[in-house]
Structures are given as C-alpha cells and as structure tokens.
Amino acid sequence: MYPVSSELYRQVAAFLAQAVGGRSYFSGSVEGETEGAAWRLTASVIVYRRRVSQPEGTAEPISDLVPVWWEFHTFAADGEVPNDFSFGEIRDLFRSL
C-alpha cells in the first residue's frame, strides 16, 4: 500500500486548484510525480467559493469541492500500487484556507 503523505495531498490540491481555475464545476484529470511514484487524480467535482473583500480588491477562492466521482491512482516502477488516498483530505485543505 502506498501511503499518501500530507505533502502529496498539498501537491494534488495545488494541481487541482490550477485545473479548476474560475469554474464552478470540473471534470478531468491532474497528474504529477512525487516521493518515488507517479500519481493521477481523475474527478468530477462541484466547486464552492467564498468571497473575500480586501482593500486591494475582491477574490473568490475555492472553499469546498464536492466530489461527484473520483479515482486516485499511484504508479511505481513496476506498475500500479494501491494507496490510502482520501478525497476528504483534499476537501479539508480547501476548507482550511
């Protein structure tokens, strides 16, 4: 079993936030490499945002991602490896921003 670290969750969240952009719905894949393994998240998510007003302007960062469907795969040199990924961890990262 491949253990998904806090650092990998942060990396996946950053890639996902970039892929979502300003949309309110996302369906697609993001992928990368870390800690000796390649990974791919394929997901369809509903995107919730919150409005933040500051003297410099207004922003609408992601406040939550509600998954409709998702898969997370990890790959080592000898093929796919089961992992302990939890989409709840990704949601917690966005909720804490």
Q: Which residue's structure tokens are 């892929």?
A: 19
Quick: pLDDT tens for 3-35: 999 999 999 999 999 999 999 999 999 999 987
DSSP class of residue 22 equals T
Q: Which residues contact 68 (CB under 8 A, 6 or more apart)?
A: 27, 43, 44, 45, 46
Cβ atoms 31, 38 nearer than 8 A: yes
pLDDT value for 61: 84
- Count of domains in the chain? 1
Nearest Cα to 50, choosing from 70, 24, 79, 77? 24
**Residue 76 domain-assigned?**
yes
Quick: pLDDT tens for 68-86: 999 999 999 899 999 999 9
pLDDT value for 35: 73
**Residue 1 domain-assigned?**
no
pLDDT value for 55: 87
β-pairing, 79-81 vs 52-54, is unpaired
Helix, strand, coil shares of the chain, percent, nearest 5, are 25, 50, 25
pTM (2 d.p.): 0.88
**Residue 66 domain-assigned?**
yes
Q: Residue 54: which pLDDT band, with cuts at 50, 70 and 90? A: confident
List the domain range (segments joined by +) for residue 47. 6-95
Mean pLDDT score of the chain, rounded to an integer?
Answer: 93
pLDDT value for 56: 86
